[in-house]
Amino acid sequence: MPKFESAGEKQITRAISESFRDVFEEYAESDVIVVGGGPSGLMASRELAKNDVKVLLIEANNYLGGGFWLGGYLMNKLTVRDPAQSILDELGVPYEEPEDNLYVATGPHACSKLIGSACDAGVEILNMTKFQDVVLRRDNRVGGAVINWTPVDALPREITCVDPVGIESKLVIDATGHDAEVVSKMEERGLLETSGYGGMWVEKSEDLVVEHTDLIHPGLIVTGMAVSTTFGLPRMGPTFGSMLMSGKKAAEVAIEELENF
């Protein structure tokens, strides 16, 4: 039976705090901040890191993956339509083809593979971190994010005087799903106008989401279901091909923007 080497409480605490501090200080400035760790945010982050872009992913929950763990109605099988199975192939996720051009995979397998792939590519992650506001620069260009610990919002009001901090980047990607949190903050300031997402129409929605994934304001790219909210597009429900392909396109847009920065 193996015997663990000596390392006590103080060594463990120092190791955790020093490692976290080093990453936090290094990523106070990055090339791209991705807000939201669902499938589109993970995919965008993965593609950026694979191309040697310094990317920070922030996620309000303790876990990554968003709705990618489940397919719908608490069933853990998810679907993608052709050609998105090519991304499952990239990730090494097995799937079945119950009907022509429709593919079914297991949610936990697909989600964990995507998370692992993003981490392996070099994505740095701050989970339990809540986006609160945008950093704005000259001509209202988005220049970063204002963040705080997620649990702060759950504390009683009389003890929540906890100021957030700002982190800087050349680009921000809104991957916060239906809430479109970054876009919504811009709308509050009269800098953008959104339409809210429409009812479900899978076949129309997926193509439109990928098509409209783009830079929508200087410094701000929108991806995933945040695209639907921004442009008033139909929702697509429990199918994830466009989430993955929208994330991939968002990374491509970001790389092109960074070349011109």
- Domain segments of the chain as ranges: 30-259
How are strands ordered across the β-sheet holding 102-106? 77-81, 102-106, 96-99
Q: Report the chain's mean pLDDT, rounded to a whole number.
A: 96
**Single-letter amino acid, residue 110:** A
Alpha carbon 113 to its chain centroid, in Å, reads: 15
Span 37-42, average pLDDT: 98
Q: What is the pTM of this model?
A: 0.96
CB 51 within 8 A of CB 248: no
pLDDT of 243 higher than 90? yes
50-88 tens-digit pLDDT: 999 999 999 999 999 999 999 999 999 999 999 999 999
Q: Which amino acid is at 67?
A: G
Residue 95 DSSP SS3: coil
How many other C-beta atoms are found inside a 10 Å radius of the C-beta of residue 69? 18
Q: To the nearest 10°, the Cα dihedral for 143, 208, 191, 140?
A: 20
What CATH class does 30-259 carry? alpha beta
| Mean pLDDT for the stretch of residues 11-15 | 97
Confidence category of residue 157, pLDDT binned at 50, 70, 90: confident
Amino acid letter, residue 130: K
Q: Average of pLDDT values for 34-59?
A: 99
Residue 259, Cβ density class (10 Å: 0-12 exposed, 13-18 middle, ≥19 buried): exposed
Residue 49 near residue 121, CB atoms below 8 Å? yes
pLDDT tens sequence across 127-150: 999 999 999 999 999 999 999 999
